[in-house]
Amino acid sequence: MSPAPFRSHISLTSALVCALTAAAAQAQAPAAPAAPPSWQQGRNAEQEKSPLHPFAIEVTGKSAKQLPVDKLKVPDGFKVEVWAEGLPGARSMALGSKGTVFVGTRQLKDVYAIVDRGGKREVKTLLKDLDSPNGVVFSRGTLYVAERHRITRYDGIESRLDNPPEAKVVVDGLDPQKQPGHFWKFLALGPDGKLYYNVGAPGNIVMPSYFQASISRVDPKTGIIENYVQGVRNSVGFDWHPQTKQLWFGNHGRDWLGDESPNDTLHVATRKGQHFGYPYCHQGDTLDPEFGKNRSCSEFTPPALKLGAHIAPIGMRFYTGKMFPAEYQNNIFIAFRGSWNRTIKQGYNVTRVSFDADGKPKMEPFLTGFLQDEKADPPMWGRPNDVMVMRDGSLLVSDDQNGIIYRVSYAGK
Amino acid sequence: MSGRSRNSGGAAAMFAAALCFFLPYAAADEVPRKAQACVACHGLGGNSTDPAMPSLAGQPAQFISMQLFMFREGNRKDPQMSPMASSLSNADMNELAAYFSRQRPAAASHETASGNAAAGRRLAEQHHCVQCHGPALLGLQHIPRLAGQQFAYLRTQLRGFKARTRADFDGNMTSAAELLSENDIEILADYLSGLTPPRD
């Protein structure tokens, strides 16, 4: 296999056509052009010279003092501060019953544990050499970790932070073809006691297999898995409404349909088996130029809210804390880690989604300042990734670009 | 600001560039102690004079820190670099990366064989090198500058990507090099090495 140390969302195309076998460049036969890097898959001819490209994280992390963290802004009465640093690639977060914050990574191989010792946070590398351990869940003393190919459990973890137990497998074989694609996993515990995870699409815009482009779930007691919903290109953040107990999730739309299309989306699943459109229909109303031929968007469940094109919603949680003003109760916070696939960048913030009297969602930016220059390359100095409500009601925000976690608190009017 | 962006830090960068113009390479920036071991092989100010040793001067900082990280973590292996990187902390890597990225690249010492300039450019476009490394092959962020890099080093890396023995951040280079013939690699390395990076 390839020695690639980091997993990527970028798919290596398998349909490589040998282009140049010529012994001398001058003597070559007419040859098909070489396959482009796979994140370029789905571009049209006009986009071939596009300078747009995904951004890589700082694998060694960055110190907050090297960064313009003073540019971060929150609404009046709120405060944002650096809470922990030295966690390269920090993504999904989970909170232990004794207060440990567990943090997964996607492009690195580590799971971190942050322990608060009298106001000073200590960062430990808890688990090493895992395969994109992006998903973390804590429940009843156990840490669950979702890697690309498996979900594992580490029992009694909070009393064993310096000598964690061996992983016990909940389910394995989730990446049978070991192919590149959107196969790192977000993990969350549903109200039914099952662990929910995404299996994304194997590329930008390609026909998924029956278990791909889905949100699936596994019963941790039995290891039995089932598809929950389909037609989801890639969702790496979901949560259940505290009252309706329905699953809400973000979804990343396809690339290379232009600056304004399609939107990334926020969805609610009202029952098992729903199909949300990928690869046929995007954002509930836009047929795919290739896969949407001879289809209709009316056969798919539309999104609850359009979030913005290529804005890359990652972590999302309902706010259930007691610290923020009452109108924040049961609102959703979503972290936007993009965009890269637009000429004028947008996003790079944490957005608040609130609901009107009819339950209709609307959004407004909540934590901003990561985006510095919407036309620059790179346009941002940090990328919010996951959000998590702490027991005191404050909100943690991870930034995988720099390996920093910020804390947003509310101090009053 | 970080200075990683080719579009940011305008005034400071221009001042630094103006300063560099009047000073010999190494004097423009005090060599941090940690970098002294590096320059033994990578050359004064990170301008290598050994065709097998890569120049670091003016490489994007994120590229340098990522490569050091990969050596320390064992993704990239090299009898000289692996031990050098093994004791470096993330902060050390960031410091070294910042230092070498600030150094001014020397003019290319390699002379591209006649005919290979046009053939190399054709290959660079055909194989999409220019898509990530940029039209002038100067690199940005985690993607290295190829223009003026040492010939033998470039050839070794391309051979390594093709053989899947050279670690790759995201699979793009493994994918790109797969289609190169040995002769393509020779021409590309010859072309790239002879390009003089901009000096201001």
Query: Please, which residues bridge with residue A214 across strands?
Result: A199, A230
Contact state of A34 with B166 under an 8 Å Cβ cutoff? no
For residue A34, name the pLDDT band (cuts at 50, 70, 90): low
**Cα nearest neighbour of A13 on chain B:** B175
Q: Check residues A22 and A328 and name the one with the higher pLDDT.
A: A328
**Angstrom distance (rounded) from CA A9 to CA A184:** 8
**Cα nearest neighbour of B173 on chain A:** A37
Q: Is the pLDDT of residue A29 over 50?
A: no
Q: Check residues B158 and A34 and name the one with the higher pLDDT.
A: B158
**Angstrom distance (rounded) from CA A333 to CA A307:** 12
Q: Flag whether residue B169 sits within 8 Å of chain A, measured between CB atoms.
A: yes
Q: Flag whether residue B172 sits within 8 Å of chain A, measured between CB atoms.
A: yes
**Cα nearest neighbour of B182 on chain A:** A23
Q: Tell me, what's the pLDDT at A119?
A: 83
Distance between start and end Cα atoms, chain A: 57
Give B-chain residues touching A38 at CB under 8 angstroms.
Answer: 171-172, 175
**Angstrom distance (rounded) from CA A250 to CA A235:** 5
The 10 Å Cβ neighbour count of residue A99 is: 12
For residue A19, name the pLDDT band (cuts at 50, 70, 90): very low
Closest C-alpha among A369, A159, A343, A362 to residue A259 = A343
- Burial class for A131, CB neighbours closer than 10 Å (0-12, 13-18, 19+): middle
Mean pLDDT across B117-137: 93
CB B167 within 8 Å of CB B158: no
The interface residues of chain B toward chain A in range 4-63, judged by CB-CB distance below 8 A, are 4-8, 62
Q: Tell me, what's the pLDDT at B199?
A: 60
- A19, A23, A38 member nearest B183 (Cβ): A23
Question: How would you list the strands of the sheet with A247-251, edge to edge?
Answer: A238-240, A247-251, A263-269, A305-309
- A1, A6, A53 member nearest B132 (Cβ): A53
Q: Is the pLDDT of residue A18 over 90?
A: no
**Angstrom distance (rounded) from CA A10 to CA A4:** 12
Q: Tell me, what's the pLDDT at A36?
A: 62
Q: Is the pLDDT of residue A168 over 80?
A: yes
Mean pLDDT across A186-198: 98
The structure tokens 């947008």 sit at: A346
Q: Flag whether residue B66 sits within 8 Å of chain A, measured between CB atoms.
A: yes
Q: Check residues B110 and A15 and name the one with the higher pLDDT.
A: B110
Contact state of A59 with B65 under an 8 Å Cβ cutoff? yes
Q: Tell me, what's the pLDDT at A9?
A: 36
For residue B3, name the pLDDT band (cuts at 50, 70, 90): very low
Q: Tell me, what's the pLDDT at B15?
A: 42
Query: Please, which residues bridge with residue A125 across strands?
Result: A112
| Count of A-B CB contacts under 8 Å | 140
**pLDDT tens for residues A235-256?**
999 999 999 999 999 999 999 9
For residue B176, give how far its alpha carbon lies from the nearest alpha carbon of chain A (Å).
7
Give A-chain residues touching B167 at CB under 8 angstroms.
Answer: 3-5
Query: Please, which residues bridge with residue B131 across strands?
Result: none
Question: How would you list the strands of the sheet with A332-336, edge to edge?
Answer: A313-318, A332-336, A349-355, A361-367
The structure tokens 């590309």 sit at: B188
**Angstrom distance (rounded) from CA A43 to CA A31:** 20
For residue A118, name the pLDDT band (cuts at 50, 70, 90): confident
**Angstrom distance (rounded) from CA A12 to CA A229:** 26
Q: Provide the mean pLDDT of chain A.
A: 91
For residue A299, give how far its alpha carbon lies from the nearest alpha carbon of chain B (Å).
36
- B75, B93, B141 member nearest A3 (Cβ): B75
Q: Tell me, what's the pLDDT at A35?
A: 59
For residue B27, name the pLDDT band (cuts at 50, 70, 90): very low
**pLDDT tens for residues B29-80?**
677 888 999 999 999 999 999 999 999 999 999 999 999 999 999 999 999 9
Contact state of B131 with A40 under an 8 Å Cβ cutoff? yes
Tokens representing B163?
């053989």
Q: Identify the H or E element spanning A353.
A: strand A349-355
The 10 Å Cβ neighbour count of residue A20 is: 20
Name residue A108's amino acid.
Answer: L
Q: Tell me, what's the pLDDT at A262?
A: 98
For residue A10, name the pLDDT band (cuts at 50, 70, 90): very low
- DSSP reduced 3-state for B126: helix
Contact state of A5 with B75 under an 8 Å Cβ cutoff? yes
Q: Is the pLDDT of residue A73 over 80?
A: yes
CB A232 within 8 Å of CB A211: no
**Most A-contacting residue of B131, B137, B165, B187 (CB-CB within 10 A), to test interface:** B131
Give A-chain residues touching B166 at CB under 8 angstroms.
Answer: 3
For residue A22, name the pLDDT band (cuts at 50, 70, 90): very low
Contact state of A60 with B122 under an 8 Å Cβ cutoff? no
Give B-chain residues touching A26 at CB under 8 angstroms.
Answer: 115, 119
Helical packing angle, B61-73 and B90-102, nearest 10°: 140
Q: Flag whether residue B189 sits within 8 Å of chain A, measured between CB atoms.
A: no
pTM for the full predicted model:
0.89
Give A-chain residues touching B119 at CB under 8 angstroms.
Answer: 25-26
For residue B60, give how far its alpha carbon lies from the nearest alpha carbon of chain A (Å).
12
**pLDDT tens for residues A269-291?**
999 999 999 999 999 999 999 99
Backbone dihedral region of A156: left (phi > 0), alpha (psi from -120 to 50 degrees) or beta?
left
Closest C-alpha among B31, B124, B41, B128 to residue B78 = B41
- DSSP reduced 3-state for A263: strand
CB A212 within 8 Å of CB A199: yes
Rg (Cα) of chain B, in Å, rounded?
A: 16
Residue A153, CA distances (Å) to A130, A145, A156, A184, B174 in order: 13, 6, 10, 17, 34
Q: Tell me, what's the pLDDT at A413?
A: 58
Give A-chain residues touching B180 at CB under 8 angstroms.
Answer: 20
CB A79 within 8 Å of CB A373: no
**Most B-contacting residue of A6, A63, A105 (CB-CB within 10 A), to test interface:** A6
- A10, A63, A375 member nearest B170 (Cβ): A10
**Most B-contacting residue of A49, A58, A256 (CB-CB within 10 A), to test interface:** A58
**pLDDT tens for residues A45-54?**
888 888 899 9
Strands A90-95 and A78-85, bridge-based pairing: unpaired
CB A107 within 8 Å of CB A7: yes
